[in-house]
Amino acid sequence: MLAEFELIARCFDRSTGRALGVDVGIGDDGAVVSLTAGNSLVVVTDTIVAGVHFPAYTPAHAVGYRALAVNLSDIAAMGATPRWASLALALPDAEAEWVADFAAGFFMLADAYNVELIGGDTVSGPLVATVTVHGEVTAGMAALRSTASEGDAIYVTGNLGDAVAGRLSEGDTDAERYLAERFLYPTPRVHEGLSLRGIASAMIDISDGLHADLDHLLLASGLGAELRLDALPLSPQLLDTVGRDQAIEMALLGGDDYELCFTVPAGQNEIFQALVSSWECPVAHIGITVASEGQRWHDGAQQLYVVPDSGFDHFMAAVDELPEDAG
């Protein structure tokens, strides 16, 4: 068992050399950072809770990684560059090996995106990790939910539904192991979000399911959408594991994908197509924005598909409604 300051020093303090823009980091009452000239500050915060956002037996390395990944996904959706992070960690006990593995997962992702941990807190309690990420974006260039226009094309990155299937899978087959990895180690689309600045008219990350998160974007922009089920990007592993019908429900409602959903005006289409041809990440055109409110999903020959629910809501779903292994 480690004391609080020993835990911080051993597992989280890497401030022997200050990162660019960090004037004061870990070790004082507060961090001091300097913005790059001409940039605005973007601040996002997310909390992950054992038994709600991940099963209690999830490896510490994956918990640390996910704690940062869910925030980097929000930064990506703003079209911002992540710079600094703070971490508040509640622990049932300060078990040295678990904390070291958590920190290794956190820093694996932080190093990949040049994010500096600049402060936080550790307390005793149920396992909860709250991360705040500060990013920079050129003044006036942040991507918002509220700025789509009628007739914009709607796109999503990656494949949808994999993460919730991975959370529920037993991991017995290669496909199930692939899906489990997608849940444990989502890829925040930071590079894609940055490259869409000035091209996408509106953007949001998919954390609570495509149907719910697209609704947030459409409501903020005062629009609706016509959408195609056959355009949903579904991985072969998901289809092989659960079949098409359940895969569609998982893609629309499952959550935890941490992909981007964004809109592109017709006038930007040529630039956009040239841009995405260089992406390693797949992108799918799933529909178009329209003036009339609501989402209308078409299956095949214009047959309307009725979405059975609206995605995950923390205050509508009780913990005991989650899968048995989730706590």
CATH code, domain carrying 178? 3.90.650.10
Same domain flag for 104 and 187: no
Same domain flag for 215 and 171: yes
* pLDDT for the residue numbered 212: 94
Residue 85 sits in a domain of what CATH number? 3.30.1330.10
Q: Is the dihedral of CA 65, 68, 74, 77 positive or negative?
A: negative
pLDDT in tens, the chain (327 residues): 555 556 555 556 666 555 667 777 767 778 888 899 999 999 999 999 999 899 988 999 999 999 999 999 999 999 999 999 999 999 998 788 899 999 999 999 999 999 999 888 888 999 999 999 999 999 999 999 999 999 999 999 999 999 999 998 877 899 999 999 999 999 999 999 999 999 999 999 999 999 999 999 999 999 999 999 999 999 999 999 999 999 999 999 998 999 999 999 999 999 999 999 999 999 999 999 999 999 999 987 668 888 886 544 443 343 333 333 333
CB 213 within 8 A of CB 207: yes
Give the C-alpha separation, 17 to 158, whole Å: 36
Per-residue DSSP letter, 326: G
Q: How far is CA 201 from CA 9, 223, 289, 293, in A?
A: 44, 13, 11, 18
Amino acid residing at 89: L
Give the C-alpha separation, 244 to 129, whole Å: 35
101 domain residue, yes or no: yes
State which residues form the domain around 249.
153-312
Closest CA to 123 of 17, 278, 5: 5
* pLDDT for the residue numbered 3: 56
Same domain flag for 158 and 106: no
